[in-house]
Amino acid sequence: MAALRLDFTLPLRDFELTLALDVVRTVALVGPSGAGKTSVLRAIAGLARPSAGRIELGDETWLDVERGIDLRPEERRVGLVFQEYALFPHLSVRGNVAYGGRGRVDELLERFHIAHLAEVKPGTLSGGERQRVALARALAREPAVLLLDEPLSALDAHTKSQVRGELSELLHGLDLPTVLVTHDYEDAAALADEVGVIVDGKLRQLAAPAELVARPKDAFVASFTGANLLHGIARRAGDDLTEVRLPGGEQLFSSDHGEGEVGVVVYPWEISVARSHTVDSALNVVRGEIGSVVEVGNRVRVRIGPVTAEITASSSERLELARGGVAYATFKATGTRIVSL
């Protein structure tokens, strides 16, 4: 399978985007909005024209500014899934998928569980269904490169975790050079083999997810991959205590003060993990399914419901976190920060 080699400069409104990157498997580009992530995908697809540099797929040259080569979007074999999916509103689901290529339409409709929607127009579909149509359409093109723009951001929280799992499976099965961009580090870590942090058009660090958390190159990367940030509604719960109710119904307590819609910040290393609920001095207990278990050096980051805890590898083994199931994350009110959003 041919690798995608990127090395280009693309002038944007406020800054220049420069990127040098080899994509063999799945690379996720993360960063704050406005960092130039989507522009990377547009440049690869031929929808934006870099001022200098090269884009190559194996021994095919898609762009070489010096030699005056610039293949048009229809000549590059990319499957681009747009953030809002950009389905053709006037065509049925089948028409959308067939637009990319007629050869495997039925197979793709089956594979993405949208065969029963084949004659439906996209306007009536749910977010998850639209995404499956967009993926099927992109793959019908028989692309050599897959590009995903914020593949999970248009989905509600409930759909998102399920789709993330499906997408992860799909990407592993496809084995295509894939570039996905997201502002959510969790999504990037869950979907990609390598994660690149982009700020103001520059690639700050590119590494495996675990490596990025364990050895962040600078403070921005550290903060970007570090703390838990949960959203909730705060109200006073006593003398020096604030209660925050999360969307899932969990109650958290903080010794900080806050009112109304707030963010709750907890560092993963302030959270301890147990298999059963034990009463101790820590006020905050979150019960949840174990979502992911990521090794970070000699430590393990484990996702429990909405929070990520960081514990030692030996604790993780003792608790048999890798087999999944339910666990309890416990942390103190004094270690729980409230920030305004």
Please give the residue ranges that form the binding site for another protein (CB under 8 A): 42, 45-47, 72-74, 76, 78-80, 82, 84, 86-90, 99-101, 137-138, 140-141
Nearer to another protein, 45 or 181 (CB): 45
Nearer to another protein, 19 or 45 (CB): 45
- Shortest distance, CB of residue 99 to another protein, whole angstroms? 5
Nearer to another protein, 19 or 134 (CB): 134
- Shortest distance, CB of residue 26 to another protein, whole angstroms? 19
- Shortest distance, CB of residue 122 to another protein, whole angstroms? 10
- Shortest distance, CB of residue 293 to another protein, whole angstroms? 36
- Shortest distance, CB of residue 291 to another protein, whole angstroms? 32
Which amino acid is present at 174? Answer: L
- Shortest distance, CB of residue 79 to another protein, whole angstroms? 7
Nearer to another protein, 124 or 276 (CB): 124
Nearer to another protein, 125 or 244 (CB): 125
Nearer to another protein, 56 or 256 (CB): 56
